[in-house]
Chain A
Amino acid sequence: MGYETLSFEESDGIATITLNRGGHNRISMRMVRDLTAVCNHLEDHSDAKVVAFRGSGGTFSEGMDFEDFDPKVPLDIHGFNKWEKCCTRLERLPKATVALVDGPAVGGGFQIALACDLRIATSRASFQLPETHLGFLPGMATFRLAKYVGLGHAKRIMLTAEVVDSGTAATLGIVDRIDNDLDAGLAWAVEALGPNHSVAVELTRRLLNESFHTAYENAIGHFLAAQHRAISQTAFLDTLKKERGD
């Protein structure tokens, strides 16, 4: 595949992306390109129904790689834009996504986890958005985190750069399950996601992601359009046949 910063494997309907870069899996532009290429592959060529994200070497990711900024080049916003687009691609994959977090998930690492449908963490896992203490912003975690934890917790986590341990993260609703055996955690997720019909997953997730900033009058129209798409799929037609005993 030619990924430099991550490894990718796919078997039994599960695609696993392991962030794998020296220096605690920090996110470089190369990693952004690799993640985007993985999204292309998953959308175009993969039969996997579940996509898992992991980190190698006991760290999920320590966040943005500052070494990646060339001192000879004036700073601009375009790299940040590419990164956020990458997160949106991950968030909208036509497959269920699971973050398997061991060790620190910092900055962009935390954001990858937030972009996933489920988050499973070991007791060693921690979550942190230290950006404001470093003089910049915690990306579109500013958009995502409050939806998980509420505005108050989100402000505290971002403005105090608090290291949220996995127990607290589970209490706050960031982590769905704590399991020191992440393989077992993933097996639980695959089982729990059940038949995992991709159109139903994709549209339910989209409506949820849009729910905080959509007026009910608009949301009901979106729901009806999405529901019509879902009931036109073979998954629902098969359910009907089964339930009616056709």
Chain B
Amino acid sequence: MLDTRPRLLSVGTAHPPEGYSQEDLVARYDVPDPRIRSLFKSAHIMNRYLYLPEANEDGVPDESQGELLEKHRRGAMEIGPQAVKRCLDPMEMGVEDIDYLCCITTTGFMAPGLTAHLIKEMGFREDCARVDIVGMGCNAGLNGLNPVVNWAMANPGKNALMVCMEVCSAAYVFDGTMRTAIVNSLFGDGSAAVLVRTDPKDDKRFAGKVLGFNSQIIPPAIGAMRYEWDGEQSKFSFFLDRDIPYVVGANAEKPVDRLLEAHGLKRRDISHWIVHSGGKKVIDAIKYNVGITEHDVRHTTSVLRDFGNLSSGSFLFSYQRLMDEGVVRRGDYGVLMTMGPGSTIETALVRW
């Protein structure tokens, strides 16, 4: 049974060239409200990579929704291909080897989707099957990984590639409110690609096998995280309710327990926890409700510190840091966990 499960063979990540500290951002634009300035002073985010425009004569960024959408397309087509290359190079593979492509984004909309653009840009094969997952938010990496894993199980020996491409700076609204300031102080731009394959020939490779998934949607909290049209600003604007950490915390045990129970495991059997870097409070909520430690979420907090919240690809940045750390041993179990709009908590079980 185990041998039919696909492996996460390689992860590649990329970010825009320009990095900014929180102080850089307050200095870059005119931010008169001291409450907003203090939002940018918390120490849990030290750096973010962003595609930022120069300030206009009023000292603020001034991009229309059309310009933001174009920035999303352009940014995604810069960082996406870099992440793909960094994922495939160590495997000595190229895009022509990819049979199935899944692209994930929430920070911009287009048709045809990012898969079509990535295929054209990078020269994937014309018979590459594809799917775009759009608008699912920070949790979407695991919503995407589920069908990718299933495709890989149904097509042994074939290569599936999932690419998260988030240009969160294309979702920025600069209107002087706390609502948008919270968003503007949290999210960063980044892309992460993961190669998934079911092949007994990979048994000798040290790569996590995906054993299963479990989801938890919280319908009463449908409005807690939402990306919606702001008529006044003529832009899409992201909203984060202040109770998100508590909504997520109160429900966090449910999918974890179901996921583990389905495999006859207890939380103590899990050696590695890869949790989405949603923000400090939501990470705390996971820690104290699931009963995991600061050490368990060390990559979650370090990715938040170094990149901000990268939305769908964030957990793959943490996964990459865990693998680079060299502490994972054969036979170890890991839980992947992402949270986002729905409100939703997604989980996956991995074994190395």
The stretch among B47-55, B63-71, B76-84, B243-251 that forms the contact with chain A is: B243-251
Q: Give Cα distance in the complex from A222 to B246, angstroms.
A: 12
- The one of B42, B250, B284, B291 that contacts A224, using a Cβ cutoff of 8 Å: B284
* A-contacting residues, B274-305, CB 8 Å: 280-281, 284-285, 287-289, 291, 294
- Say whether B287 contacts A228, CB under 8 Å: no
- Say whether B266 contacts A226, CB under 8 Å: no
- Say whether B285 contacts A225, CB under 8 Å: yes
- Say whether A228 contacts B43, CB under 8 Å: no
Q: Give Cα distance in the complex from A222 to B292, angstroms.
A: 12
- The one of B250, B284, B287, B291 that contacts A232, using a Cβ cutoff of 8 Å: B250
A217 contacts chain B at the CB level, 8 A cutoff: yes
- Say whether A43 contacts B266, CB under 8 Å: yes
- The one of A210, A217, A228 that contacts B246, using a Cβ cutoff of 8 Å: A228
Question: Considering only CB atoms and an 8 Å cut-off, how many residues of chain A contact the other chain?
Answer: 18
Mask: chain A, 186-204; 1 = CB below 8 Å from B; 0 = not: 0000000000000000110
- Say whether A222 contacts B288, CB under 8 Å: yes
Residue of B nearest to A92 (CB): B291
B204 contacts chain A at the CB level, 8 A cutoff: no
Residues of B within 8 A of A225 (CB): 245-246, 249, 281, 284-285, 287-289
Question: Considering only CB atoms and an 8 Å cut-off, how many residues of chain B contact the other chain?
Answer: 17
Q: Give Cα distance in the complex from A206 to B284, angstroms.
A: 13
B268 contacts chain A at the CB level, 8 A cutoff: yes
Min CB gap A43→B, angstroms:
7
- The one of A44, A89, A203 that contacts B288, using a Cβ cutoff of 8 Å: A203
* B-contacting residues, A218-236, CB 8 Å: 221-222, 224-226, 228-229, 232
Min CB gap B141→A, angstroms:
23
- Say whether B288 contacts A226, CB under 8 Å: yes
Min CB gap B307→A, angstroms:
20
Secondary structure dominating the interface of A: helix
- Say whether B268 contacts A43, CB under 8 Å: yes
Q: Give Cα distance in the complex from A92 to B288, angstroms.
A: 13
Residues of B within 8 A of A224 (CB): 281, 284
> Given the known A-B contacts A217-B43, A221-B280, are A228 and B285 also in contact in the complex, defined by CB atoms under 8 Å?
yes
Residues of B within 8 A of A202 (CB): 291
Mask: chain A, 89-122; 1 = CB below 8 Å from B; 0 = not: 1001000000000000000000000000000000
Q: Give Cα distance in the complex from A221 to B266, angstroms.
A: 27
Residue of A nearest to B253 (CB): A229
Q: Give Cα distance in the complex from A195 to B284, angstroms.
A: 27
- Say whether A229 contacts B249, CB under 8 Å: yes
Q: Give Cα distance in the complex from A222 to B42, angstroms.
A: 15
Q: Give Cα distance in the complex from A226 to B285, angstroms.
A: 7
* A-contacting residues, B230-287, CB 8 Å: 245-246, 249-250, 266, 268, 280-281, 284-285, 287
Residue of A nearest to B287 (CB): A225
Q: Give Cα distance in the complex from A101 to B130, angstroms.
A: 66
Q: Give Cα distance in the complex from A43 to B257, angstroms.
A: 14
A-B contact pairs, 22 of them (CB 8 A): A40-B266, A40-B268, A43-B266, A44-B266, A89-B268, A92-B291, A210-B294, A221-B280, A221-B281, A222-B288, A224-B281, A224-B284, A225-B245, A225-B246, A225-B281, A225-B284, A225-B285, A225-B288, A226-B288, A228-B245, A229-B288, A229-B289
Q: Which 7 residue pairs spanning A and B have beta carbons closest together?
A: A225-B284, A225-B288, A226-B288, A221-B284, A225-B285, A228-B246, A229-B289
Residues of A within 8 A of B (CB): 40, 43-44, 89, 92, 202-203, 206, 210, 217, 221-222, 224-226, 228-229, 232
Residues of B within 8 A of A (CB): 42-43, 245-246, 249-250, 266, 268, 280-281, 284-285, 287-289, 291, 294
**Besides A203-B288, A224-B281, A228-B245, 15 new A-B residue pairs in contact (Cβ under 8 A), listed by A number:** A43-B266, A44-B266, A89-B268, A92-B291, A202-B291, A210-B294, A217-B42, A221-B280, A221-B284, A222-B288, A225-B246, A225-B249, A225-B288, A228-B246, A228-B285
